[in-house]
A and B are shown apart, each in its own frame.
Chain A
Amino acid sequence: MKRFIYSLLLLSGLTTGAMAQSAQYQDAMSKQTSDLDSGYVFTPDGLQQKANTFERIADAEKSQWLPYYYAAYCNIMHAFLLQDKSKIDPLADKAEASLDKAEALSPKNSEIACIRSLIASARLTVDPMTRGMKYGMEAGQQIQLAKTYNPENPRVYMLLGQSFLFTPEQFGGSKVKAKENLEVAVQKYAAFKAESPIVPHWGELYTKELLSKAQ
């Protein structure tokens, strides 16, 4: 009997251990994702720190796609803030490597496709003349993929709106289309119900900023 109780206790202890681990994951992730949109994070140093933190969590967990996803997100946002264009490709490489791991854990994921689109856009900025054709196309294709994977993802319409807004009119840019998409994005953001606080939810504020530019 004693042995049985012990083993039961041991078992319950182990499961609570695992649960505690998972609670630790939830805690850490909600803490790290809560301030992603804030100004003090959105600096090269802040984003690098975040990327490192998410990499640590990803590395410790190994079975969760979200930390890999956020690590990629922080690295690519960091790339967009850089003046030194020679540093963009290494960051894009890093983000891509994280996304590959995320995608292995969660294939056909609309959020991952959105980040892939951002990576292509970042690579494009290194040398628009030479890379425009290739990466411009890839960025567009990834948004389309993201849309087919999940048409309710507000970030898809935010990215579409952004690309319509910043593409010169000769290449198909249009303020009208930008506005349409951004308005859809705002609706989808409003309709979006997070199943947990740690799933991707960034971009709403930025969308509103873009929308004011598209007016």
Chain B
Amino acid sequence: MTRFNRCLFLLLLSPLYMLAQGKISGKVTDSKKHPLPGVNVFIKGSYDGATTAADGSFSFTATASGDQILAATLTGYQPLELKINTGSSEQLVIVLKSAVNALRVVTISAGSFEASDSKKGTVLTPLDIVTTAGAGADIANAIKTLPGAQQTNDREGLFVRGGTGYETQTIIDGMLVRNPFFSSMPEIPGRGRFSPFLFKGTTFSSGGYSAQYGQGLSSALILESTDLPDRSSSSVGVSVIGVNAGIDNLSKDKKTSYGIEADYTNLSPYFNLIKPKQHPILGPEIIGTSANFRRKTSKTGMLKFYGYYNRSNMGFRSESIEYPGATESFTLHNDNVYTNLTYKESLGRNWRLYAGLSFSSNRDNINTDTSVKSIPPAYIKSTSTLAQSRVMLTRDLGRFSALRFGGEYQYAVEKSALNSLNAGFVDNYSAAFAETDIYFTPSFVGRFGGRAEYSSVLARMNVAPRVSLAYKLSNFSQFSVAYGDYFQKPEPQYLRFANSLDYMKATHYIVSFQRVASDYTFRTELFYKKYADLVKTNPYTNNGKGYAQGVEVFWRDRKTFKNVDYWVSYSYLDTKRDFLNYPMQVQPDFAASHTASVVYKHFFPKLSTSLGLTYSFATGRPYFNPNQPADKFMSDRTMTFNSLGVSASYLTSIRKAFTIFVLSVGNAPGFKQVFGYRYSSDGMRRSEITPSVPRFIYLGMFMNFGIDRRQDVINNL
């Protein structure tokens, strides 16, 4: 072996010795020149590198020589690579740009409150709805603690920004729900039919909502059902008003699940103990069942079915105002079916498909009678069925922008009968919509859309343009504006008698500012809403009109106090309208000028107990007093509304079952609440419209048994 060979041999044996060493140092900052600590700066493909210090500086020795690639990475920033020469001893200055991820991109927010399970800071989660004291696990009741919604607790529905309950539409997975609330009795509002646990996301839009949805003049409550459950489970609930049980089964491959649930509610034992204002003569009882089926059809495809059947029976007797000394009775039997089948799939090449089918039917049988012999009883039967289909295609444009378009068709049959008088109609409603979200920059987005609708019963078409813009001022703050036209068919009870009616119309203008961080939210909105073509009933015309304007503030804080989460909302509303039988434009009887809510939740981890308080306030609402002259119509005001709900829930486990005990008291101090007055037709007598019980005490226990899948895990090994 030659000497040369030996040298080569040595060199080859120790490749590291061949490499010259170079010192690399410098500083990393963000685009605003603030130093970035914790950045991983290194020579690609080698171990050599360093982590930047608090002042952003770094320094290390590289074993590789010559031209190398230097990389700098930090979570939340775009990784950077640059060519350097290890020989040069210059100080490197590296600037990292913040990564434009979905969290930092501006989103359309004017008018809408989102509540979802996803990681980003949302306003309300489904659990928030359940743990809001005084809401009784009712979605609409929890939403009433948000700005924009009125405290109209004498009738069901969400009354938003000077709109009636009819002007709010409920949408589940894109499909309209015709009867989201239980049928109500006079003065007793019906609760929502759907449990908050069915939904992973809730968006409450108090105005300016997307062209995807129509037929709501004021507001949309958009609910998105949950996907596959995490595991199989069964649940049992027992409370002072009823029982429920259900199972949820997840297949072994975790791609298919089904669930069934049944519940029975009967308030009569409760009402035997705590006498309500009206005397119960039937129930109230509710028998309900529901079933769901979900299947992940592919990596991106999801098929969901939800079906619900429900029967409720109730009847009350109360003192007659019309006939002193006599009584009036009212009984109601209601049957309700709702089914919803939706399918989502990605078609590839940036296209996504959504398709949905839904059928629902609602039947009310109402019987009213008085103890006065000369007045015959009245029987009211009303049936409404709705079949609907909906298709939507989405095309992603670039990283964030998207185009959506689609159509929907609804076939509705309305039948009603009073004694032997029949009235009804059939409507074929079709709609087409298109909208596009255009990101001019990651912090400036515009949504431009439109919706065209045709209803056969009105024999008219409408076209509604909608525009929203949002601009992100910083990572947390954004400013938005929205404008849109909204059309809605008149209520079925008017359409039945007057088929010459036209759409009612509202135009929304909204300006909003919000600051949302992970543990606090601040929002404020200014709105103006103009109503046109509202229904007048005497005679039936579309000559009604009105307006609503106001300002709303919302603050939620999960940070300041340990284990405490609270929110405060305030709404100022100035609204007047001339509709139905109103002689002129006045503040309607469902609108209060000032509404405020404070929701407070305190979790005690050591006791595993959560305490909640909800205080709501509203100024007096107008009511109709027939003794006032015509020019003083609706000039009287009820007393101010005060309500304090208290709840305590205790979480524990009983034999491996996750168990919650809930005690809640609605209006605990028993504040007197008067929502209005009913007058006899001669105006001589009146009765207060008040809650049927001054405070409602609820005690319940819910158990969830997770079916242990450990054995499955072992079997699959």
Contacts and interface: CB of A to CB of B under 8 A. Distances in A.
Nearest to A78: B38
A17 B51 contact: no
10 contacts: A5-B5, A52-B40, A53-B51, A56-B40, A56-B46, A60-B47, A108-B717, A130-B127, A133-B658, A137-B230
A148 B713 contact: yes
A129 B610 contact: yes
Contact of A130 (B5, B11, B46, B125): B125
B375 interface: no
Nearest to A62: B45
B187 to A, nearest CB: 36
Interface string A147-185: 010000000000000000000101110000000000000
Contacts of A90: 75-76
B713 A9 contact: no
B230 A48 contact: no
Interface in B31-73: 37-38, 40, 42, 44-51, 73
Contacts of A20: 14-16
B561 to A, nearest CB: 15
Given A9-B8, A45-B37, 13 more contacts: A6-B5, A9-B12, A24-B47, A45-B38, A59-B42, A60-B46, A86-B518, A89-B119, A91-B75, A130-B127, A133-B230, A133-B704, A168-B606
Contacts of B710: 141, 144
Given A17-B12, A56-B40, A60-B47, A85 B518 contact: yes
Contacts of B267: none
B422 to A, nearest CB: 51
A48 B38 contact: yes
Contacts of A85: 518-519
A17 B15 contact: yes
A31 B249 CA distance: 49
B538 interface: no
A129 B42 contact: no
Contact of A13 (B9, B709, B717): B9
Nearest to A19: B13
Contacts of A198: none
Contacts of A133: 230, 658, 704
A28 B709 CA distance: 41
Nearest to A28: B47
Which 4 A/B pairs are nearest by Cβ-Cβ distance?
A13-B12, A170-B652, A52-B40, A86-B518
B47 A57 contact: yes
Contacts of B608: 168, 170-171
B237 interface: no
Contacts of B38: 45, 48, 52
A145 interface: yes
Nearest to B710: A144
Contacts of A144: 710, 713
Given A86-B519, A130-B127, A172-B653, A53 B49 contact: yes
A55 B230 contact: no
A130 B603 CA distance: 12
Interface in B699-717: 704, 706, 709-710, 713-714, 717
Interface string B403-438: 000000000000000000000000000000000000
A128 B605 contact: yes
Interface string A130-149: 10011001100100110010
B1 interface: yes
Interface string B605-630: 11010100000000000000000000
Contacts of A22: none
Nearest to A167: B653
A34 interface: no
B713 A141 contact: yes
B30 to A, nearest CB: 16
Contacts of A33: none
Contacts of B653: 170-172
Interface string B146-182: 0000000000000000000000000000000000000
Interface in B221-250: 230-231
Interface in A46-94: 48-49, 52-53, 55-57, 59-60, 85-86, 89-91, 93-94
B705 to A, nearest CB: 12
Nearest to A128: B605
B321 interface: no
A34 to B, nearest CB: 16
Interface of A: 5-6, 9-10, 12-14, 16-17, 20, 24, 28, 45, 48-49, 52-53, 55-57, 59-60, 85-86, 89-91, 93-94, 108, 128-130, 133-134, 137-138, 141, 144-145, 148, 168, 170-172
Contacts of A128: 603, 605
A190 to B, nearest CB: 27
A89 B120 CA distance: 10
Contacts of A5: 1, 5
A13 B13 contact: yes
B23 interface: no
A171 B654 CA distance: 8
B45 A60 contact: yes
A36 B75 CA distance: 22
Given A16-B13, A60-B46, A134 B230 contact: yes
A53 B42 CA distance: 9
A174 to B, nearest CB: 12
Contacts of B42: 52, 56, 59
B100 to A, nearest CB: 15
B713 A137 contact: no
B355 to A, nearest CB: 30
Contacts of B14: 16, 20
A127 B310 CA distance: 35
B12 A10 contact: yes
A48 B52 CA distance: 10
A163 B458 CA distance: 65
A172 B603 contact: no
- Looking at A5, A145, A171, the one whose CB has the most chain B CB atoms below 10 A away is A171
B231 A137 contact: yes
B526 interface: no
A28 B49 CA distance: 13
- Looking at B44, B603, B710, the one whose CB has the most chain A CB atoms below 10 A away is B710
B81 to A, nearest CB: 12
B450 to A, nearest CB: 38
Interface in B91-141: 117, 119, 125, 127, 131
Contacts of A12: 9, 12-13
B40 to A, nearest CB: 4
Given A48-B38, A129-B603, A9 B9 contact: yes
B651 interface: yes
Contacts of A14: 12
Contact of A148 (B45, B73, B714): B714
A10 B5 CA distance: 11
A20 to B, nearest CB: 6
A158 to B, nearest CB: 20
Contacts of A91: 75
Nearest to A173: B653
Nearest to A52: B40
B275 interface: no
B656 interface: yes
Contacts of B40: 52, 55-56
Contacts of B127: 129-130
B652 A56 contact: no
Interface in B356-382: none
B75 A94 contact: yes
B5 A170 contact: no
A134 B704 CA distance: 13
Contacts of B714: 148
Contacts of B231: 137
B75 A16 contact: no
Contacts of B119: 89
A56 B713 CA distance: 34
B237 to A, nearest CB: 16
